[in-house]
Chain A
């Protein structure tokens, strides 16, 4: 399962820099990131090549952060209607999406969608997604892009 690193961050100048400093020092590569804003604080969500290492490094520097299982979904062919097909699949399983963002794979220019859902490890979920023509990437597949 793909892992997303979630970091608590105050909303003021310099806070992102303090996180990127740690990532740089540890030579970590970022595939994707997004920030959820709540006014005075936010949650930074990161997909990196070595999530466990990143978590340890950030925790050592005093950041409140956790690793979370997320769905990393990719389609065989980039085309209009992919998101609609994916949401149809999720609706079929009654899955609620808490947050989602995407990026394009550097290797084959495939679109990859990352989704936070209630039970990412739900056994039937992968099958349903596959039945609609999507692939669920494992952590390894994602980090080795």
Chain B
């Protein structure tokens, strides 16, 4: 079923009018309520009267993670703390954490988009849902909780961890829907087998997985081992938490709720929009949020987007699975390369997160050379030279298909790639630019 049929199947022209109306209101709202945005707009040399239609969005300045950190805790909010009914904090590995807050209406919005998400994945009003995302400061658990509550599902708020209990609850109460991280779902399958439970006979028919990158190969594995439909959910706490976009049962991209979260795909270098279908950074404007509305927020996630109508009837654009992150982008021969693109390829081939390193070099008057070192771990080691050759050729072919530039792949011994704090150093740029 479609949760909000009038909005989710709205003709594109009407949708555009709604977005235009909301953007005009939003830009006025943040300019008047948030001193940080007033300053940003003024510095950008723009007038509120410039914003008449959704197409004028390109005239507005971007908001970045740095803006959130610099104004920590409440600088970027458009409402006083007393109007907030809930706040969430994400752990920051560097500097300040990221704080987000919700007014009562924002919680209603979150409930609405999460109800859409659940229906999009195939949930029906009589279903029982097991929510194995963490409850707490992380937005995963509560986001699903609000959506399920809105839909009137029976909620089992197991939160994350305690795998044996998760499995017992699944067997006893027979929920049809499970939501958790995809890797945890695979982990539970292993545990189930050890306990003598046949995962193929589990009650779960639908899985809603997100909060970490996962490959199509991993989807295949989950669907086969649990005999379920595995769908992808996307979200980030800065925008709302989970509930920004979700795959429908056709699994051909994630429907983004563009009436409330307006998406743009830009070239992360130039900030200019890319052509439809091309890879770029996802930028989102929260058209109706009150507590901490964000204008053109740079998600740093690399995706592509299509406005082609979907077989399910929803008219919202569809965004691809995350193909990379802009954080560690490198430019090689004029092409943007994201280490995570390479990681995704390797993830798809090996079904495991391998250690790799990208070395970029340039001899005098020559083109940039890209070498990719991949550690030969237990999973990818074969005792036959022929298979090792095939593996190396396959990695090369798939990486070249993704990056559109030629690379050399070297298989190296385990633990030979330099580690910093347990993580491999992903990029070594030897070019003297």
Contact = CB atoms under 8 A, between A and B. Distances in A.
Mutual binders A and B: yes
A38 B384 CA distance: 11
B416 interface: yes
B414 A38 contact: no
Interface string B377-393: 11001011110110000
A63 B388 contact: no
Contacts of B386: 98
A11 to B, nearest CB: 10
5 contacts: A9-B413, A40-B411, A42-B385, A62-B415, A116-B384
Nearest to B384: A98
Given A8-B376, A38-B389, A66 B414 contact: no
B22 interface: no
Contacts of B381: 8, 64-66
Interface of A: 6, 8-10, 15, 36, 38, 40-43, 62-66, 68, 98, 116
B410 interface: yes
Contacts, number: 44
Contacts of A62: 413-415
Interface string B406-433: 0000111111100000000000000000
Contacts of B411: 8, 40-41
A10 B414 contact: no
B414 A43 contact: no
Given A10-B412, A64-B377, A64-B378, 6 more contacts: A15-B413, A40-B410, A42-B385, A43-B383, A64-B376, A64-B381
Task: Identify the interface centre among B376, B377, B378, B413: most chain A CB within 10 Å of its CB.
Answer: B413
A10 B385 contact: no
A136 B414 CA distance: 35
Give chain A's interface secondary structure class. strand
Interface residues of B, number: 17
Contacts of A63: 413-414
A9 B381 CA distance: 11
Contacts of A43: 383-385, 388
Contacts of A40: 410-411
B415 A38 contact: no
Contacts of B385: 36, 38, 42-43
A64 B388 contact: no
Nearest to A6: B383
A100 to B, nearest CB: 13
Contacts of B378: 64
A65 B376 CA distance: 10
A65 B382 CA distance: 9
B83 to A, nearest CB: 56
A15 B413 CA distance: 10
Contacts of A15: 413
A9 B385 CA distance: 11
A64 B384 contact: no
A10 B386 CA distance: 16
A55 B28 CA distance: 69
Contacts of B410: 40-41
A63 B386 CA distance: 19
A110 B412 CA distance: 38
Contact of B388 (A41, A65, A68, A98): A41
Interface string B83-113: 0000000000000000000000000000000
Nearest to B409: A40
Given A38-B388, A41-B388, A64-B376, A10 B383 contact: no
Interface in B45-96: none
A63 B378 CA distance: 9
A23 B416 CA distance: 20
Contacts of B376: 8, 64
